[in-house]
């Protein structure tokens, strides 16, 4: 009997030692998760894709095969028993050697995915913006167009808006590859709100009660007419003066926008387009067009709020990106003759001159 008790005590002690040894080994293994693990030369990068719906076991096994974590088993035990098995988020990740397994797990839990830059150019229409985003890999285009055609995101700012045209702020953004179209639309509108509310709206002169919608429409016209910041307040002044006097805007960009909406823009503006009865034809319809015609940038929004204090009613292109501004029709006609009629007449003669022998 005494011998049996001694054997039992020894067995319990042995089991206790095994348990302690196991616990110490597991603790040591967990501690090793905090040590940086090199999966290549220092600074080497690895891009790792986690598909939607992939299990934690498979993700950690793949990371172990790639050399990013030393032991998938230890990482899985730590993740499930210590952290409570939180989900690992899908997406594209980038790891730089050396990296600790704890940092890898933290990145996957947080969804700290790789983002890529994309620039929305000032003066782009909503559909052009969708196409540019799709080309950059943030599509599909149809899903983006669907979101951009829904005005709910700016209904509190512009209750009459039928799309997000004019409110998709042109800027450089960073998105993950599989970003949802709704998240892209949110980001562009949020940026517009920030620029307008925190910056541009402060330029509004006392007594100026023009609604935001009118200002964005005017800014979009300015954006399409000139790329020179110094000219934007002058263009805004021309259109503001014409609106105040009840003179038609005669703005080619509004007609072009209408043709784009109809799928009929081929790069040439014809006489029949100027005569067409379209709500976007500011040659025939007085006042502003029905809505914005592109996404204006900050400078154009500022110009719409603070047009230059000038009496100009006309402007004509010098064909180099700059314009000649005039107050009277006579001045404007002279500028048109100089910079359109004579300019292009001279340009047509240049090839003939180049072919003629010198005396």
25: Cβ–Cβ under 8 A, 6 or more apart, which residues? none
The H or E element containing residue 359 is: none
Residue 343: per-residue pLDDT: 67
Domains recognised in the chain with CATH numbers: 36-110 (3.30.1490.480), 116-198 (no CATH), 209-312 (no CATH)
User: pLDDT for 54-89, tens place per residue?
Assistant: 999 999 999 999 999 999 999 999 999 999 999 999
> What percentage of the chain reaches a pLDDT higher than 70?
87
The tokens 């005039």 sit on which residue? 326
R_g of the chain, CA atoms, integer Å: 33
Distance, in Å, from the CA atom of 75 to the CA atom of 70, rounded to the nearest integer, reads 8
Residue 21: per-residue pLDDT: 46
Average pLDDT over residues 81-107: 95
User: pLDDT for 179-214, tens place per residue?
Assistant: 999 999 999 999 999 999 888 989 998 999 999 999
Residue 348: per-residue pLDDT: 63
The tokens 């997000």 sit on which residue? 164
Q: Bridge partners of 323? A: 317
Distance, in Å, from the CA atom of 10 to the CA atom of 317, rounded to the nearest integer, reads 100
Cβ–Cβ under 8 Å, residues 315 and 234: yes
Residue 3: per-residue pLDDT: 55
The burial of 32, by beta-carbon neighbours within 10 Å (0-12 exposed, 13-18 middle, 19 or more buried), is given as middle
The tokens 């998760």 sit on which residue? 33
Residue 16: per-residue pLDDT: 46
Cβ–Cβ under 8 Å, residues 134 and 81: no
CA distances from 7 to 10, 143, 351 (A): 5, 74, 111
Token code pair at residue 246: 């009840």
Of the candidates 346, 269, 256, which has an alpha carbon nearest to the alpha carbon of residue 337? 346
Token code pair at residue 92: 């594209």
The H or E element containing residue 47 is: strand 45-50
Of the candidates 304, 156, 133, which has an alpha carbon nearest to the alpha carbon of residue 234? 304
Distance, in Å, from the CA atom of 348 to the CA atom of 355, rounded to the nearest integer, reads 13
Residue 5: per-residue pLDDT: 57
Cβ–Cβ under 8 Å, residues 289 and 279: yes
Band of the pLDDT at 291, cuts 50, 70, 90? very high
User: pLDDT for 317-353, tens place per residue?
Assistant: 999 999 999 999 999 999 999 998 876 776 665 544 4
pTM: 0.82
User: pLDDT for 138-175, tens place per residue?
Assistant: 989 999 999 999 999 999 999 999 999 999 999 999 99
Number of residues that make up the chain = 359
Angle (CA) 43 44 49, round 5°: 125
Of the candidates 115, 116, 96, which has an alpha carbon nearest to the alpha carbon of residue 46? 96
User: pLDDT for 11-51, tens place per residue?
Assistant: 444 444 444 444 444 566 677 788 899 988 999 999 999 99
């Amino acid at each position: 009997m005494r011998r049996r008790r001694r054997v039992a005590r020894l067995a319990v002690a042995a089991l206790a030692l095994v348990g302690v040894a196991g616990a110490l080994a597991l603790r040591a293994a967990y501690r090793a998760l905090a040590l940086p693990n090199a999966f290549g030369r220092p600074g080497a990068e690895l891009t790792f894709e986690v598909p939607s719906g992939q299990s934690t076991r498979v993700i950690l096994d793949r990371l172990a095969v790639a050399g990013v974590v030393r032991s998938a088993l230890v990482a899985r035990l730590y993740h499930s028993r210590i952290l409570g098995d939180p989900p690992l988020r899908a997406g594209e990740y980038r790891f730089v050697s050396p990296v600790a397994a704890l940092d890898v797990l933290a990145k996957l839990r947080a969804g700290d995915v790789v983002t890529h830059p994309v620039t929305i150019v000032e003066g782009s229409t909503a559909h052009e913006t969708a196409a540019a985003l799709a080309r950059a890999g943030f599509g599909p285009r149809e899903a983006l167009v669907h979101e951009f055609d829904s005005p709910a995101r700016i209904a509190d700012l512009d209750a009459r808006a039928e799309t997000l045209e004019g409110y998709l702020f042109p800027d450089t953004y960073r998105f993950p590859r599989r970003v949802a179209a709704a998240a892209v639309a949110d980001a562009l509108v949020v940026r517009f709100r920030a620029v307008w509310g925190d910056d541009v709206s402060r330029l509004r002169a006392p007594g100026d009660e023009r609604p935001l919608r009118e200002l964005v429409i005017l800014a979009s016209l300015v954006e399409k007419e000139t790329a020179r910041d110094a000219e934007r307040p002058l263009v805004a002044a021309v259109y503001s003066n014409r609106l105040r006097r009840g003179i038609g805007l005669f703005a080619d960009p509004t007609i072009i926008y209408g043709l784009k909406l109809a799928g009929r823009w081929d790069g040439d503006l014809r006489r029949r387009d100027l005569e067409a009865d379209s709500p976007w034809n500011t040659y025939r319809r007085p006042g502003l067009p029905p809505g914005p015609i592109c996404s204006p940038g900050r400078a154009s929004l500022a110009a719409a709020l603070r047009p230059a204090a000038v009496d100009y009613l006309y402007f004509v292109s010098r064909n180099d990106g700059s314009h000649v501004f005039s107050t009277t029709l006579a001045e404007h006609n002279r500028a048109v003759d100089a910079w359109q009629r004579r300019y292009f007449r001279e340009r047509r003669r240049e090839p003939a001159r180049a072919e003629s022998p010198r005396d």
